[in-house]
C-alpha cells in the first residue's frame, strides 16, 4: 500500500473509499453531497469527444526521420538537411469508417506525419495513394457524403458512391487504386505513404522547386483479398492495431524510405498535365525519385486518447524551406484542418502535449478557453506588437520567395481539357493478369445493388481507360 500513489479528487484531496457510494443507511437513498460519485459520473459523461469527420479510425506510433541524402540545393529546411534526425508521430487511418470500424476494410488509408523539427512542426498529411478522388475542394464534402451513411437507411450506399464516381471522371485514377490490391493492405506497415499534393521547397538562394514526397515501405507491399479480409474481420476488428502495436512492442520497428520527386519551378508551365492536379502523378520517367532518408517507427504511445485521438495534423503546419503549391485541394486543406481541430479539440489544441512543438513558441495570441500557457511572449508587458518591452519579433529571413501568379478570377471548369484516362491506363497496364482479375472482382462486388444505369455509366468510363477494363468488370458482374 505504502508505495502506491494516493487516489484523489480532481482537486487533489485524498479519497477515503472508491468502492461504496455515500448513502443514508445501507439500503440508500444516496446523498447528493457524495461529490466523489458525482465527479466520477460527470467525467464519464465527458470521456468522448467528437470523432474526426473523416479518418476517424486510426493507429499510430512515434519514431524518427533521418536524412541521409544531401538536398540542400533544393531546400533550406533544417528538417531535410543531411544528418538531421527529427522525432515524429505517425497516424494511419481509414477514411470512411467511424471510430469503431473494422481495420481490414477496403478504403484509402491516411498517412499523417508530424515532424517535431527544431524550427517548428512540419505536418505532412498524406494518404497511401499518390492521387485523390476529386481535384476541386468544392467537391470534397459531396464526395465524403457518398462514403458515409445514407441519411435514411443509415447504411453505407454503394449507389451513392458509384453515382458520384461515374459522374466524376477525375475519380477514375483513385478508384482504380482503391479496388486494386493496394486498396486493402494487411497492415499500415505494408503500404507506401505519399504527400500526394505538389508542395514546394526553396533553398537559401531563394530558388523554388516543386516537390512530391514519397514514403516507400521497406516491409514490402502485402494485401488481403476481399475474401481474406472478410475472414479477418470475422476474427478481429482490430487487425491493424494488433499488427503494428504488437510489432513495435516486440522491437520490430517498421521503416520507410523517404524519396522525393523535384521539378524546377519553371517546368510547371511545360508539363503536358497540370502538375498541381491531385488526380495526377508525375511520371517517374520525367521526374525520377531521389533518395533522401528513412523514417522508422519505434515507440507506441502510452495513452491512445491523449496521443492519437487528440493528435491534430494539419497541412498548414510548414517550416521555412517547405511551402504550398497552387494545388486547389491543398489550398482548401490549409484552412480546413486547423478549423476542424478548433471544433474537435478546442482553440488551444496546439498546447496539448502531443501537438506541442519541440521548440520555443512565442506569439501574441491570448486568453481563450482552456488556455494552459498564459502569456506566450515571455513578458507580460509585451502583449501587443510593436512594443518597446522586448516582445518576440518577426524574422524576415524565413520569408518565402515571391510566387508569380497570373489569370483572371473566375470559377474555371476543372474538367475542361483534362485527360482523366492516360495515367489510369498506365496503371492498368502495370497490373498483371491476376491483379486485373482481382480488380474486376473487387469492383463487381462493390457494385452490388447499384442501379444498372449507374453501372453502365461507370463501365463507359472504364472503357475510356481501356476496353479490357470495362469488359473485365462487365464479365465479373
Ligand atoms: P513507373 O513504372 O515508374 O512507376 C510505377 C509506380 O506504380 C511505382 O511507384 C510503384 O510503386 C507503383 N505501383 C506498382 N504497382 C502498383 C499497384 N499495383 N498499384 C498501385 N501502384 C503500383 O511508372 P510511372 O511513374 O509512369 O507511373 C505509372 C502509373 O503508376 C501512374 O499512372 C500511376 O497510376 C502509378 N503510380 C505512379 C506513381 C508516381 O509517382 N509516378 C506513384 C504510384 C503509382 P512501388 O515502387 O512502391 O511498387
Ligand atoms: C483528416 C478535410 C483531402 C488526408 C481530415 C479531417 C478533415 C479533412 C476536416 C479531420 C481532421 C481532424 O478532425 O483531425 C479534408 C479536406 C480535403 C481533404 C477539406 C480536400 C479538400 C485530403 C487529402 C488527403 C487527406 C487529399 C491525403 C493526401 C487526411 C488524413 C487525415 C485527414 C491522413 C487524418 C489525419 C489524422 O490522422 O488525424 N481531412 N481532407 N485529406 N485527411 Fe483530409
Q: Any idea which ligand is nearest the CA of 194?
A: 2
Task: From 131, 197, 279, 284, give the residue whose CB has the most ligand 1 atoms within 8 Å, as the site to mutate.
Answer: 284
The answer to whether the CB of 137 is under 6 A from ligand 2 is yes
- In contact, 296 and 87? CB cutoff 8 Å: no
Task: From 337, 339, 341, 354, give the residue whose CB has the most ligand 2 atoms within 8 Å, as the site to mutate.
Answer: 337
Judge if pTM exceeds 0.90: yes
127 is catalytic: yes
Of 55, 197, 214, 348, catalytic: 55
* ipTM score: 0.98
Average pLDDT over residues 404-419: 94
Confidence class of residue 378 from pLDDT cuts 50, 70 and 90? confident
pLDDT at 44 over 80: yes
- In contact, 312 and 349? CB cutoff 8 Å: yes
pLDDT in tens, 254-283: 999 999 999 999 999 999 999 999 999 999
Average pLDDT over residues 315-326: 98
Share of the chain above pLDDT 70, in %: 100
CA 459 to chain centroid, in Å, comes to 31
pLDDT in tens, 275-294: 999 999 999 999 999 999 99
- Atom 46, ligand 1: which residue's CA is nearest? 216
55 is catalytic: yes
- Atom 30, ligand 2: which residue's CA is nearest? 110
All 3 cell numbers of residue 118? 527544431
pLDDT at position 1: 56
Amino acid at each position: 500500500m505504502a508505495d502506491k500513489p494516493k487516489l484523489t479528487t480532481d482537486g487533489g484531496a485524498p479519497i477515503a473509499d472508491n468502492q461504496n457510494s455515500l448513502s443514508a443507511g445501507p439500503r440508500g437513498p444516496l446523498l447528493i453531497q457524495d461529490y466523489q460519485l458525482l465527479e466520477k459520473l460527470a467525467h464519464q459523461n465527458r470521456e468522448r469527444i467528437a470523432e474526426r469527420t473523416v479518418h476517424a479510425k486510426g493507429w499510430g506510433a512515434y519514431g524518427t526521420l533521418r536524412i541521409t541524402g544531401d538536398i540542400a540545393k533544393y531546400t533550406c529546411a533544417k528538417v531535410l538537411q543531411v544528418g538531421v534526425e527529427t522525432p515524429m508521430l505517425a497516424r494511419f487511418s481509414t477514411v470512411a469508417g467511424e471510430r469503431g470500424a473494422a481495420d481490414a476494410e477496403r478504403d484509402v488509408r491516411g498517412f499523417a506525419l508530424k515532424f517535431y523539427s527544431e524550427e517548428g512542426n512540419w505536418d505532412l498529411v498524406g494518404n497511401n495513394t499518390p492521387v485523390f478522388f476529386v481535384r476541386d475542394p468544392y467537391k470534397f464534402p459531396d464526395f465524403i457524403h457518398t462514403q458515409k451513411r445514407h441519411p435514411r437507411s443509415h447504411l453505407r450506399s454503394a449507389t451513392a458512391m458509384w453515382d458520384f464516381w461515374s459522374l466524376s471522371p477525375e475519380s477514375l485514377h483513385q478508384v482504380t487504386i482503391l479496388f486494386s490490391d493496394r486498396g486493402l493492405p494487411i497492415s499500415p506497415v505494408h503500404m507506401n505513404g505519399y504527400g500526394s499534393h505538389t508542395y514546394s521547397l526553396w533553398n537559401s538562394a531563394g530558388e523554388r522547386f516543386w516537390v512530391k514526397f514519397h514514403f516507400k515501405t521497406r516491409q514490402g507491399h502485402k494485401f488481403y483479398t476481399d475474401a481474406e479480409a472478410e475472414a479477418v474481420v470475422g476474427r478481429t476488428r482490430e487487425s491493424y492495431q494488433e499488427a503494428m502495436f504488437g510489432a513495435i512492442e516486440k522491437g520490430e520497428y517498421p521503416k520507410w524510405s523517404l524519396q522525393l520527386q523535384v521539378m524546377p519551378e519553371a517546368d510547371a508551365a511545360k508539363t503536358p498535365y497540370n502538375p498541381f492536379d491531385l488526380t495526377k502523378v508525375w511520371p517517374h520517367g520525367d521526374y525520377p525519385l531521389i533518395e533522401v532518408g528513412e523514417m522508422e517507427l519505434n515507440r507506441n504511445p502510452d495513452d491512445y486518447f491523449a496521443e492519437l485521438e487528440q493528435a491534430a495534423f494539419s497541412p498548414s503546419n510548414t517550416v521555412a524551406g517547405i511551402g504550398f503549391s497552387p494545388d486547389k485541394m491543398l489550398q482548401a486543406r490549409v484552412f480546413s484542418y486547423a478549423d476542424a481541430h478548433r471544433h474537435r479539440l478546442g482553440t488551444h489544441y496546439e498546447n496539448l502535449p502531443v501537438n506541442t512543438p519541440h521548440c520555443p513558441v512565442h506569439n501574441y495570441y491570448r486568453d481563450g478557453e482552456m488556455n494552459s500557457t498564459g502569456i506566450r511572449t515571455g513578458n507580460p508587458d509585451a502583449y501587443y506588437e510593436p512594443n518597446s518591452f522586448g516582445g518576440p519579433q518577426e524574422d524576415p529571413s524565413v520569408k518565402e520567395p515571391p510566387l508569380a501568379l497570373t489569370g483572371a478570377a473566375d470559377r474555371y471548369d476543372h474538367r475542361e481539357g483534362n485527360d482523366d484516362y492516360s495515367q489510369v491506363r498506365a496503371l492498368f497496364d502495370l497490373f498483371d493478369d491476376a491483379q486485373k482479375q482481382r480488380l474486376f472482382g473487387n469492383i463487381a462486388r462493390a457494385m452490388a445493388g447499384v442501379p444498372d444505369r449507374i453501372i453502365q455509366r461507370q463501365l463507359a468510363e472504364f472503357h475510356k481507360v481501356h476496353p479490357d477494363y470495362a469488359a473485365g468488370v462487365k464479365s465479373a458482374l
